Amino acid sequence: MSTLTHLECSYCGKEYDADVLQTLCPACGKPLLACYDLEGTKKKWPRESLKDRETTLWRYWEILPLKDKANAVTLGEGYTPLFPARRLGKELGMSNLFIKDEGLNPTGSFKARGLCMAISRAKELGVKEVVIPSAGNAAGAMAAYAAKAGMVAHVFMPQDVPLPFRMECRAYGAQVTLIHGLITECGQQARQAASEHGWFDVSTLKEPYRVEGKKTMGYELAEAFNWDLPDVIFYPTGGGTGLIGMWKAFSEMAKLGWIGERRPRMVVVQADGCAPIPRAFEAGEEFAKPWENAATVAAGLRVPAAIGDFLILRAVRESGGTAIAVSDEALILAQSRMASREGVFACPEGGATLAALEKLLAKGWIGKEEKVVLFNTGTGLKYPEAT
Ligand SMILES: *Cc1c(COP(=O)(O)O)cnc(C)c1O
């Protein structure tokens, strides 16, 4: 049984009914997050019980928002491998380097985690038609899950997204609109269309359940490391759903008694051409100013203004982590280095984590023995031109 109780505003703390469709907090306009009866679940749900469960993210059923299992729209997402990166580690002088390979998810990226949950819950609450603004992977994932759910899907994409992203959306039967502009403009158009036609907008953090799908990465890391979390996590950050989700997962697991108080240092990785979070982090600000003229080949990082900026910054600071930007040249070089040393053909965003690791190692910010996880968030196969 899901132990979902209600939704709570991540900023002002107001509480809302989870059993009706919700978007942003009506009071302050910030994202809502799902709350569970962790106290009541604690006694009934020991971590050992996970052993016999299915090898998808649905193994964490109790802390997922779906009320009825029959509403789960699934393509086998989650439970991705965590590879020891031995050759790369050796070259860098590191003894505990790992790659969590999210490229093995359905539709080739970790967007599958968030969108399977958003679509499943939307279906449960009666939605028939969905819309998303996306720079690539989110659109493909939404289109696939909407197809499986029998929903009508609308996608607003910048016209310069790589061809494979457009191809897959159309193959899944989505209505694709190409926009002359960045993801922020796509967001405006999607919002307008949503309010005109009554479509449900599944943009990052505008509905509460994509975070719930993505937080399972945190549960999987804890489980894979036998409940001893890594020292440092490198996360290529756009809207920050995964980072916010993992940070939430750690706090939930502590309340369940599954882990202690120690937390990984969270490292936000962005690109030099679009680095609003590192800039706000350095300046000590609570919110990040929008980045002007955002440009990077790592499309997932081309998010000039993130609605969850304060949650990203909060997690980074509470964890003792940092936020860092790398050049496009460095992230593409790192992408091929990861492929040729570890057999993981990462997306450019995944390559960025390795480039950032090299930078922080050179600064002495990371110890050579520390347990470090790089997130490869998608397959490299969808970016033929960048590569
Ligand atoms: C969306 C995306 C990101 C950024 O993910 P967030 O959780 O929204 O920050 C990183 N890499 C890839 C490949 C993506 O598609």
pLDDT tens-digit readout, 162-196: 899 999 999 999 999 999 988 888 999 999 999 99
In a domain, 248, yes or no: yes
Q: What is the count of structural domains for the chain?
A: 3
Candidate of 216, 233, 237 to mutate for ligand 1, largest count of ligand atoms within 8 Å of Cβ: 237
Q: Is 237 in the pocket of ligand 1 (CB under 6 A)?
A: yes
Q: Which CATH number goes with the domain that contains 195? A: 3.40.50.1100
Same domain, 98 and 233: yes
Angle between helices 137-149 and 111-124 (to 10 degrees): 40
| pLDDT over 70, % of the chain | 100
Sheet strands side by side (includes 372-376): 82-84, 97-101, 372-376, 232-236, 265-271, 322-326
Q: 236 CA to middle of ligand 1, Å?
A: 6
User: Range with the lowest mean pLDDT among 54-58, 230-234, 292-296?
Assistant: 292-296
Same domain, 230 and 88: yes
Of the candidates 233, 251, 231, 253, the residue with the CA atom closest to the CA atom of residue 243: 233
Cα–Cα distance, 34 to 209 (Å, whole number): 7
In a domain, 387, yes or no: no
In a domain, 76, yes or no: no
| Average pLDDT in the chain | 96
Q: Which of 201, 227, 251 is the last residue of a domain?
A: 201
Q: Which of 48, 71, 94 is the last residue of a domain?
A: 71
Cα–Cα distance, 206 to 15 (Å, whole number): 16
Answer yes or no: are the C-beta atoms of 238 and 138 closer than 8 Å.
no
pLDDT digits (tens, 9 = 90+) for 313-339: 999 999 999 999 999 999 999 999 999
pLDDT digits (tens, 9 = 90+) for 8-27: 999 999 999 999 999 999 99
In a domain, 95, yes or no: yes
Residue 197: what pLDDT?
Answer: 96
Same domain, 191 and 244: no
Residue listed under structure tokens 């240092």: 265
In a domain, 96, yes or no: yes
143 has pLDDT over 80: yes
Of the candidates 372, 385, 282, the residue with the CA atom closest to the CA atom of residue 328: 385
Q: Is 187 in the pocket of ligand 1 (CB under 6 A)?
A: no
Residue 188: what pLDDT?
Answer: 92
Same domain, 237 and 304: yes
Burial of residue 314 (number of CB atoms within 10 Å: 0-12, 13-18, 19+): middle
Same domain, 37 and 141: no
Cα–Cα distance, 241 to 117 (Å, whole number): 13
Residue 85: what pLDDT?
Answer: 98
Same domain, 118 and 230: no
- How many residues are there in the chain? 387
Same domain, 95 and 123: no
Q: Which of 150, 178, 201 is the last residue of a domain?
A: 201
149: left (phi over 0), alpha (psi -120 to 50) or beta: alpha
79: left (phi over 0), alpha (psi -120 to 50) or beta: left
Residue 263 CA to its chain's centroid (Å): 18
In a domain, 77, yes or no: no
* Residue nearest atom 2 in ligand 1 by C-alpha distance: 300
Q: Is 241 in the pocket of ligand 1 (CB under 6 A)?
A: yes
Which residues 6+ apart lie within 8 Å of 387 measured at CB? 332, 335, 336, 348, 380
**Helix ranges, 152-239 (H):** 163-171, 183-197, 210-214, 216-224
In a domain, 142, yes or no: yes
Same domain, 133 and 178: yes
Q: 101 CA to middle of ligand 1, Å?
A: 13
Same domain, 378 and 348: yes
Same domain, 99 and 221: yes
Which residues 6+ apart lie within 8 Å of 361 measured at CB? 92, 93, 94, 368
Q: 150 CA to middle of ligand 1, Å?
A: 25
Q: How many helices (H) and strands (E) would you count in the chain?
A: 13, 13
- Would strands 265-271 and 32-36 be described as parallel, antiparallel, or unpaired? unpaired
In a domain, 34, yes or no: yes
Q: Confidence class of residue 386 from pLDDT cuts 50, 70 and 90?
A: confident
Same domain, 224 and 312: yes
Residue 181: what pLDDT?
Answer: 85
- The residue range of the domain holding 162 is 111-201
Same domain, 310 and 378: yes
Q: Confidence class of residue 362 from pLDDT cuts 50, 70 and 90?
A: very high
Q: Which token pair is 221?
A: 């890391």
